[in-house]
Structure 1
């Protein structure tokens, strides 16, 4: 599939700030399921700094804005050719051992309820277990916007029984770790949901490391594995670790953010 992305993020400040520095993970991953045809990241009045690929295989790029400014605009445009690999991350170069992703954070730490849910799932093999864990998250946490926040934990989302893709990913990571399956958070884009509805927003899912396949992407929010509708950006232990944009600035100001994402697709 040929996917076209426009992703614009504007950070607003109630008082001017200066010397803002941002670390961006906004360039799609390179693997057998994704081919970059064109991709551009710009920050208005920004200065592009160093870029490198980290041990997890993610592309990281530094930008700075001297200011003073009362807003910072980050614009991403591009085209990616995707191939359906039924969720398998084939041909992705990385150096971090999968064992690292057995570590938990405050967002993915399993409580008693998550542990009980993980242990209640039975399966005939690791792949079947991964699918069953993802299905358990889908059943336990309904997709409902506006009820959770960026700092909502997997345990809190399960208790609420509601959440968004970030909560689904965190919960699946927690369940996988209980069952000794390395799991990580993935940020990216989704062209359309399981119902075919246009998905004009950034998206998140989880990857589980299985003995015979390596990393496999599961999306509990859509009850599916990642296919050619998905664009993979970056990964980490949780949403904070895999955040597409991280930044700091000099000054005392309250920051708010507006985001617009448009994704078009053409079946090839």
Structure 2
């Protein structure tokens, strides 16, 4: 599938701001499941733009605006071809033993996915050694989709996972953190993925950057699961990058001097073509 993406972030300030510096993670990743045909970053007013790859391999742009401004507009445009992902064969849960050492950072707790028996909290049956790992992850994706309600007004980026567990309403970030807490507690490496979703009106989460989980499967590598939409992350999912949790891959974040209390506006449009 070919996906065309336009992502616009605007900061408006009541008074002039200056020395605005932002980290921008909007460049889609290049990997087996997708090819990047085009990426362009436009900033208004004129800015100094540099880039580097972060610890997890994502391309990060640094946007520095020196002059006073009351509007900062960051627009990213991309054209990405996504490719089919083969389904994994049956894998006994016991095969995880001895193969997870290189992925320890995706097994341990992090600030937004703290340690805890999240399988028990969310009422998830713990698998036996002979149970099929891909089947378990598919069932878990469905279970979380049915348990929680997608509600853009229920949580913020700082809502603790325990609070989401109690109220059962939130957005893709919350669904993803919940699944990460469960799989990591069961010894399955899991990482947070930030990206885009072409919904075609059939799925939720396409109005901004989307989030889902990638789990490590022995012999198959990393496979994406989207508990917000009860599906595998396939051609409609365009990946930007991954990390331990949301804060590792937040799309745009930064600081500035002056300006007063700014207002943030974000618009995402994803167009798909088979």
Q: Report if TM-score (shorter chain) is over 0.5.
A: yes
Contact 1:106 1:153 in 2 (8 A): no
Find the aligned partners of 1:113 and 1:81 in 2 and give their Cα distance: 36
Instruction: Provide TM-score, normalisation by structure 1.
Output: 0.88
How far apart, CA to CA, are the structure 2 residues paired with 1:84 and 1:118? 32
**1:109 lines up with 2:132 in the alignment:** no
CA distance in 2, matches of 1:27, 1:87: 26
Aligned to 1:29: 29
Is the 8 Å Cα contact of residues 194 and 241 (structure 2) preserved in structure 1? yes
Higher alpha-carbon deviation: 167-176 or 63-72: 63-72
Which residue is equivalent to 1:98?
A: 103
Spell out the pairing of 1:238-257 with structure 2 (5 A cutoff): 238-251=245-258, 253-257=260-264
1:39 maps onto 2:44 in alignment: no
Q: 1:102 to 1:197 in 2, by over 3 A?
A: closer
For residues 201 and 233 of structure 2, what CA distance do their matches in structure 1 show? 11
Match of 1:93? none
User: Unpaired segments of 5 or more residues in structure 1?
Assistant: 89-95
SS, match of residue 199 in structure 1: coil
In the superposition, the TM-score normalised over structure 2's length comes to: 0.86
* Structure 2, gaps ≥5 residues long: 89-100
Separation (CA, whole Å) in 1 of partners of 2:247 and 2:204: 27
Secondary structure of 1:7's counterpart equals: strand
| Aligned positions of 1:210-221 closer than 5 A | 210-221=217-228
Q: 2:177 — aligned with what?
A: 170
Offset at residue 242 of structure 1 (A): 1.0
What is the CA–CA distance in structure 1 between the aligned matches of 2:36 and 2:214, rounded to whole Å? 21
Contact 2:17 2:258 in 1 (8 A): yes
Equivalent of residue 125 in structure 2, options 120, 128, 143 = 120
Whether contact under 8 Å (1:42, 1:75) holds in the other structure is yes
Q: Which string of whole-angstrom CA distances, capped at 9 and with x for unpartnered residues, describes residues 22-78 of structure 1?
A: 111111000111111111012112433332223312111211001311221000112
Number of aligned positions between the proteins:
260
